[in-house]
Structure 1
Amino acid sequence: MPALPDRRSENIAKVACTVAGAVWGLYWIPVRALHDAGIQGLWATAVFYFVPFVLMLPIGLLRWRQIISAGWMMQGIAIIGGLCLVLYSTAFLYTDVIHATLLYYLTPIWSALLARAWLKELITRDRTLAIILGTAGLLIILNLDQGLPLPRNPGDWMALVSGLIWALFANVMRRSESSYNTVDVLFSWFFWGTIIAVALGLLQILDRPDPPSAQQIITVLPWLIPVVLFLIIPGFYAITWGVPLLNPGTVGVLFMTEISVGAISAALLTNEPFGTREILGVILITAAGLTEVVVPVLATLFPGRDTRRERNR
């Protein structure tokens, strides 16, 4: 496991992950723009990761020895992260933005359970409350009142599974015995994201869209390259650097900013349904994520009887 971060590094990592979460709330926009430009399904996701991979290729070539010497553990981390984000990005093309976001952000539940089983970290009272709130939000989003609460479509399934995979990714990053160079991980992440998206696209599991032509890709580059340089690469860098420094449950909490940004942007830019059910889901799942932060603060401001007794001793 990497050395424990100092307080300053940990605080910077928290800020980085919070901002990255907000940036992720806008990722659905370029993915859907690619889809609307005729690059459909998993091929839109493949292009979404192929462009940053190509832009980082000179750095990757300069550091190829370091990347190879890092071994397959780092590549395994990149593969897990790449699979997660391929599924999550593609989910926006097959379901509503708010459903994709909320189903993915059950991550704190999976992270807490994995951290308990794998890292032997206790599931505190705060995290227990988070699991209850998150589960309630999940059941509401999945229409519990209409029968067995299952995802409605392939997009829902991809979002839910990607959240599970992200929890695994965060725990693997935390458990890793080595501290990897952030740029090396990021380059590998984009590489494997591209490979996984292309492989799944060739399998033609969903709606079997045709691979994009060179002309289609060239047409979108004038707007996609700035998005990659100023949104995708910085956001992914913040995640890659910050996640290993923080508890997996805390990471899931900080990324909750994506729910707000995603919900607001979708409400403003799409005609997708956003009614009482979605509002309740946002409230419950956001509350689940914030529990780990808010409850300890409230406990400090309003100490219980046992805490006051300890202070008076």
Structure 2
Amino acid sequence: MTTTRAETIAMAAIAISGVLWGVFWIPLRALETSHVTGVWAVAYFQVLPTLLLAPIILFRIKSILNGGTSLLIGGALAGMSLVLYAGALIFTDVVRALLLFYLTPLWSTLLARVTQGEPITKLRLVTIVLALFGLGLIIRLEQDFQIDMNVGDWMGLASGVIWAFAAVRIKSNGPGTGIDFTLVYFVLGSAFALALTMLPLDGAGTLPSLDAIVSVLYWMVPIAIVLIIPPAFALMWGATVISPGLIGILFMTEVSVGAITAAIWAGEPFGVREALGVLAITTAGALEPVYSLLRSRKSAA
């Protein structure tokens, strides 16, 4: 497989994973009706896939340990980021959580420029401007640039910043380490999610009963196998192949899916302003991959 082909596959995998994670909020919030509430729902979503992956984790433990500090730091940052993102989906509106997290292309692009010398192209600047424009529309950024931020909003913002650091760290390790990064992400993410349950957050929920935990396994296990684990592997592998800034832009497919499904099933606002915001962000996410594909076809011809 050539590098170009690997990058094309990575871009497609990440974009599709974004679509799948666009409905991630639905089962996460569904746990609320089953008495697995607040940050305990976040912990459930992290711990269950980790337990399902336990045989693979044990099989690759030597490889993980050989990965050293860099692997552990990258996996820990990824785990912290995506746990905070899941928390944001609990504590604030779905669309606000999505878009505050998806400021990450800005942080990732700047970090990749500083740490890896990656050039900031004109096309990348256009995608960032479009994404920020869409973000401003949806969160209704007023002329005085004041935003009323709750704890969920801060979680969403922090998760995007932390993911930028995680993506740069993962990319610096290069191809071939995606599986181990994913496994470390699940293990250390589980530890961080459990630690989050100890914080005195309003609406954090209480420790669910064993009956409540068991009662949702029949639908949570398939969701973990289909909706959580494969996109995580695609994301972590893709992070070893393509640039951190591009990952964030590609994953913006989640914004469109999340905004539309939240409007339909959660009753969140979705008018002309929100539609224009989603259009701007979706366009930003599509520009660079489409341009790359067209350039590859032109070169091949």
> Does the CA-based 8 Å contact 1:101-1:159 persist in structure 2?
yes
> Does the CA-based 8 Å contact 2:134-2:277 persist in structure 1?
yes
- Opposite residue 216 of structure 1, the aligned amino acid is A
Give the match for residue 273 of structure 2: 277
Percent of aligned pairs with the same amino acid = 42
Give the match for residue 200 of structure 1: 196
Gap runs ≥5 in structure 2? 297-301
**In 1: Cα distance, 2:55 partner to 2:38 partner:** 28
Give the match for residue 167 of structure 2: 170
Equivalent residues in 2 for 1:298-313, closer than 5 Å:
none
SS in 1 for 2:198: helix
> Does the CA-based 8 Å contact 1:53-1:191 persist in structure 2?
yes
**In 1: Cα distance, 2:290 partner to 2:225 partner:** 34
**In 2: Cα distance, 1:210 partner to 1:281 partner:** 36
SS in 2 for 1:127: helix
Give the match for residue 96 of structure 2: 99
Give the match for residue 236 of structure 2: 240
TM-score scaled by length of structure 1: 0.86
CA drift of 1:261 comes to 1.6
For these two proteins, the number of residue pairs brought into alignment is 297
Moved more, 225-234 or 290-299: 290-299
**In 2: Cα distance, 1:279 partner to 1:160 partner:** 22
- Whether 1:153 and 2:150 are equivalent positions in the alignment is yes
> Does the CA-based 8 Å contact 1:102-1:281 persist in structure 2?
no
- Opposite residue 23 of structure 1, the aligned amino acid is L
- Opposite residue 261 of structure 2, the aligned amino acid is S
**In 2: Cα distance, 1:264 partner to 1:208 partner:** 26
**In 1: Cα distance, 2:151 partner to 2:273 partner:** 20
- Opposite residue 262 of structure 2, the aligned amino acid is A
Give the match for residue 188 of structure 1: 184
Gap runs ≥5 in structure 1? 301-313
- Whether 1:121 and 2:132 are equivalent positions in the alignment is no
**In 2: Cα distance, 1:256 partner to 1:142 partner:** 16
Give the match for residue 87 of structure 2: 90
SS in 2 for 1:52: helix
Cα deviations by residue, 1:91-113 (Å, 9 ceiling, x for unpaired): 11112212211222222222211
SS in 2 for 1:144: coil
Equivalent residues in 2 for 1:6-155, closer than 5 Å:
6-145=3-142, 147-155=144-152
Which of the two has higher C-alpha Rg? 1
RMSD: 2.5
Give the match for residue 254 of structure 1: 250
TM-score scaled by length of structure 2: 0.89
**In 2: Cα distance, 1:104 partner to 1:204 partner:** 23
CA drift of 1:184 comes to 2.5
CA drift of 1:7 comes to 2.1
